[in-house]
Structure 1
Amino acid sequence: MIDTLTERLLVSEALVVPSGFTAGATTVEPAEPGRVPGFVESAFSPLIKAVVDRCLADVTGGETFGEEGARTGLVLATLFGDTVTADLGSKLLTSGRVANPLLFYQSVPTTILGVVARDYAITGPTTCVALRGDLRGEALDLVDMILDDGMDQVLLIGIDLATESRPLSAHAQLTDAGPHTDAVRVDTAVAFLIRRADSSPGTEPAAVAPVADQHLADFGSLAGLVQLYFTVRAERAAAAAGAVAVNVGSALGERELRLLLREP
């Protein structure tokens, strides 16, 4: 049962899959993220930088947010985090070799968000969360709370890397869980820039984004966010887009989040 309705403006969105991917009738063109100075070995940070740059390209024109940066929040949502860096660091540790400080994986998410914040002059709150299951509901719920807390806009980034057996086995042991079914099978990053839409009159949604479908199984924990991206892109292409409805929920209850695709 839906308790409340929230409306926000979805300004822009982006999806980066380096290897390319076909989901049903939809083909994702491959994108090759560039290197980010100060980060090594893993695709985690380059993927984040690439998807943010693509998401904000038409919003900022490659420049900073300026004064808007102080009213902008950053949210990074992931299931496993940077598994490549964690795996390499742990192998060095168990072998007795000196660890490379660049492989201190706990610092990677906040450090790459620091790079993003620097490049776009974002000085609002920064939040990194590791969530279980499909990330979409809780990630959008967190974005909604940050907007309610006074921010004008939030840049949401969802990311996970294709996870091999060793990190999966370690995760299962640490969490006392069985085989993990939410691991992604292809490196994926997706981003959304979401703003407040306080003056909206209550737009009826043109489309409802399902959590995921069978064609998106390889996106694992990101399937819901990738599904949202595909739904939004289809609505924008139709040139008559009004809003896309998403059901989100937390301990505070279930509600419908309507993402407006044009200014109210």
Structure 2
Amino acid sequence: MTDTQTERLLVSEALVVPSGIQAGHLVIEPSETRRVPGFVESAFSPLIKAAVDRCLADVVDGATLGEQGARTGLVLATLFGDTVTSDLGSRLLESGQTANPLLFYQSVPTTILGVIARDYAITGPTTCVALRGDVRSEALDLVDTILDDGMDQVLLIGVELVTAEGRPLAAHARLARDGEPLAAPSRTDAAVAFLFRRVEAAPQAAGAAAPAPAATEAVVPAAPADFSAFGSLAGLVQLYATLRAARAQDTADAVTLDIDSALGARQLRVLLGTAR
């Protein structure tokens, strides 16, 4: 454990797995995703939209974020990105066919976030990142950075498609650093979303010890072994499962996890709030 602790309020969370899945104690029923106008072929954008809609359903109650939208940041984290669009677009170009602008995969992540920003009146900073390995620590680093930079809340989305095809895996292998282990491919399409808010810390006297953890506090294990089917999303899905279990069983009012990333080692303490 580290002496550095970050505290955030988790308002709502959602996980969408169209095919349904059981991973450890987590059981997700199959769910349909709706087509998003302007996007073709790939499940990437519909997955993101479905996860966000579910995450914000109780927060906005059919409306938009309104004034909160200007104080909300968006973060989209993925490893492989929209492999379906990139693969289809490259195959069409290789065959000599005319390029279809809807298959410019570089624009898909920012465009779908633009749709979400429009639908929920979000005007804060937007960040799309492709992260190596398990994306949890680096994605949560971005959440902290945006909240510390003045935003009140951040909507974090993680997404991966099934990566059983040889071409995406081969491309990833070529980009991997020397000696770096490759992330396990995802065996299911999935998107997970979290709405985090900043917690205003009470003033603390110089030299005073940090407050002790609450008696009702759950801990996220370091290794997300039971969630390997989610590939690079395993850590975020494990966090989701821990949060959902704590809410359902009413056994904890906070969840803690250790983070070790490029910004250093720290402990993240997530307070369980309610959508409002």
TM-score bracket for this pair, using the shorter chain length? over 0.9
**Inter-CA distance 254–50: structure 2 relative to 1 (3 Å threshold):** same
Aligned twin of 1:190: 192
Residue 79 of structure 1, CA deviation: 0.2
* 1:223 matched to 2:224: no
Q: Would the aligned equivalents of 2:132 and 2:183 in 1 still touch at CA under 8 Å?
A: no
TM-score normalised according to structure 2 size:
0.90
Q: Give how far 1:246 is off.
A: 1.5
Match in the other structure for 2:208: none
Q: 1:133 is aligned with what amino acid?
A: G
How far apart, CA to CA, are the structure 1 residues paired with 2:177 and 2:130? 17
> Cα distance, 1:103 vs. partner?
0.2
Structure-1 separation of matches of 2:259 and 2:53: 27
AA paired with 1:246?
Answer: L
Q: Structure 1: any 5+ residue segments left out of the alignment?
A: none
SS in 2 for 1:241: coil
Q: Secondary structure at the match of 1:227?
A: helix
Counterpart Cα distance in 1 of 2:156 and 2:176: 26
Partners of 1:21 and 1:141 in 2: how far apart?
Answer: 28
Describe how 1:55-134 pairs up with structure 2 within 5 A: 55-134=55-134
Letter aligned with residue 42 of structure 2: S
Partner letter of residue 8 of structure 2?
R
TM-aligned CA distance change 1:222 to 1:153, over 3 Å:
same
Q: Tell me how far apart the structure 2 counterparts of residues 62 and 211 of structure 1 sit (CA, whole Å).
A: 37
Q: What is the CA deviation profile of residues 176-196 of structure 1, one whole-angstrom value per residue up to 9, with x for unaligned ones?
A: 678844221100100000001
Matches of 1:95 and 1:53 in 2, distance apart?
38
Once the two structures are TM-superposed, the CA of residue 145 in structure 1 deviates from its matched residue by 1.0
Contact 1:212 1:223 in 2 (8 A): no
Q: In 2 relative to 1, CA 176–92 (structure 1 residues): closer, same or farther, beyond 3 Å? A: farther
**Residue 36 of structure 2 aligns with which residue?**
36
Letter in 2 for 1:110: T
Q: Counterpart of 2:13 in 1: which secondary structure?
A: strand
> Are 2:162 and 1:166 aligned?
no
The CA distance in 2 between the partners of 1:84 and 1:245, in whole Å, is 35
**For the residues of structure 1 that align with 2:197 and 2:50, how far apart are their CA atoms?**
21
The equivalent of 1:16 in structure 2 is: 16
* Matched residue type, 1:221: S
Percent of aligned positions with the same letter in both sequences?
70
Residues 209 and 244 in structure 1, CA contact (< 8 A), matched pair in contact too: yes
CA–CA separation in structure 2 for the residues paired with 1:175 and 1:6: 30
RMSD after superposition? 1.8
1:127-156 alpha-carbon deviations (Å, 9 max, x no partner): 001100101011011101110000000000
- The SS at the match of 1:91 is helix
Instruction: Indicate if the aligned counterparts of 1:141 and 1:249 stay in contact, CA closer than 8 A.
Output: no
Hey, what does 2:273 align to over in structure 1?
A: 262
| Cα displacement (A) at 1:49 | 0.2
1:134–1:182 Cα contact (<8 Å) kept: no
Does the 8 A contact of 2:133 with 2:182 survive in 1? no
Seen in structure 2, the aligned counterparts of structure 1 residues 75 and 125 have a Cα distance that, compared at 3 Å, is same
- 214, 234, 238: which is aligned to 2:249? 238
Q: TM-score, length-normalised on structure 1?
A: 0.94
Is the alpha carbon distance of 1:38 and 1:148 closer, same or farther for their aligned partners in structure 2, counting shifts above 3 Å?
same
